[in-house]
Amino acid sequence: MVAANADRRREIDRIVADERAEGVRAGLHPFEVAARIVDRVPEMTALEAQRLARGWSRRQLSKLIDELYEADSLAPVGLADETICRWEHGDRTPSPERIDYLCRVYRTRPDRLGFGVDHSASTPGTALPGLIAFFPYTSRESDHDLRSRIVDAEREITVFGLTRNAYARDGTLDLLGQAASRGVAITIYVMDPWCESRRDRYRVEPAEAAMENPERYIREGLIPLREAASAHPNWSIWTFDFPISFAVEKIDNAIRIAAYAPGRRGTESPIFVYDNDFPAYDYFAGQLDWLRARAENPHREPWRSKNIHVRPLTLPADSE
């Protein structure tokens, strides 16, 4: 990044703080936060944006690099803040070895840190039938894909996942309301805010997640969703109380899949979008059919004896 005067530096600090706060609120991947920072601060290098997106100081970055060297049974290099600053401002280029360690710290490729250009192309013959889109993590591109599909929905929007708090954002809520007004059947299944399975899931989050607190999740996620759904008889919201390993979103014939893995936030998961030519399409669509059956017939065995519940959304104020 080129030198900035004091006023511009303060403005940049504010932009970085805003984007990091929004990233935490929306559960964005650090790569996405870094991209947003660069969009608003075009003079900033990708390398610096990646560090700021994670809230690291240069000294913290140096320590993380040292830890990787030590894990490789090598002596730590003890990079000075001034050295990292020169790299981030484009005054000097790290050696290939240092670039490799930077990529390992940030878990990415050199071109995403501003070193070189990715000229790779997809390997011929590896296309998977039915795969119509792929996103490496939750991003503006994946959000645009979701919203576009909601806009174009004609019959069905069925959502199943841990929180699905992205649907509670104003823009997405408006699109869902418009879809419901067109007669699209909307069904949303979210994990019960108070169930043990939800607490267990957040125990393996790598850091505090925005929706970990049940009260906050109810306030910022479920209440807006229910208020929007209350105006449409064809829009229902259900809760479930059992563990899950992936989220499913079915919009007409398209299915979007994202995984939940220990030690990773849900928004770090890759997102795969399939149509009904995908060989395992029926497997994922069948998960939604199973949920629907649990909702329609809660007394069916063996699920009743296993305390598996899919219930209409009930909030604390409903029982007062």
pLDDT per residue as tens, the chain (320 positions): 656 788 999 999 999 999 998 887 777 888 889 999 999 999 999 999 999 999 999 999 999 999 999 999 999 999 999 999 999 999 999 999 999 999 999 988 899 899 988 776 554 444 678 999 999 988 888 989 999 999 999 999 999 988 777 787 778 999 999 999 999 999 999 999 888 888 887 777 766 665 678 888 888 889 999 999 999 999 999 999 999 899 999 999 999 999 888 888 778 889 999 999 998 999 999 999 999 999 999 999 999 899 999 999 998 766 44
CATH of the domain spanning 131-319? 3.30.870.10
Predicted local distance difference test score (pLDDT) of residue 3: 65
Order of strands across the sheet that contains 246-251: 131-135, 271-274, 254-259, 246-251, 156-161, 185-191, 235-240, 310-312
- The neighbouring-strand residues paired with 285 are none
Predicted local distance difference test score (pLDDT) of residue 2: 57
Predicted local distance difference test score (pLDDT) of residue 214: 85
d(C-alpha 79, C-alpha 62), whole Å? 5
With CA atoms as reference, report the closest residue to 173 among 122, 133, 227, 211: 227
C-alpha distances in Å from residue 147, one per residue of 88, 138, 152, 171: 35, 13, 9, 9
d(C-alpha 117, C-alpha 37), whole Å? 20
Listed in order, the ranges of the chain carrying CATH 3.30.870.10 are: 131-319
- What H or E segment, with its residue span, contains residue 157? strand 156-161
Range list of β-strands (E), 176-233: 185-191
Predicted local distance difference test score (pLDDT) of residue 221: 87
Predicted local distance difference test score (pLDDT) of residue 87: 96
Cα angle, residue 190 at apex, residues 207 and 142 outer, rounded to 5°: 65
Predicted local distance difference test score (pLDDT) of residue 209: 61
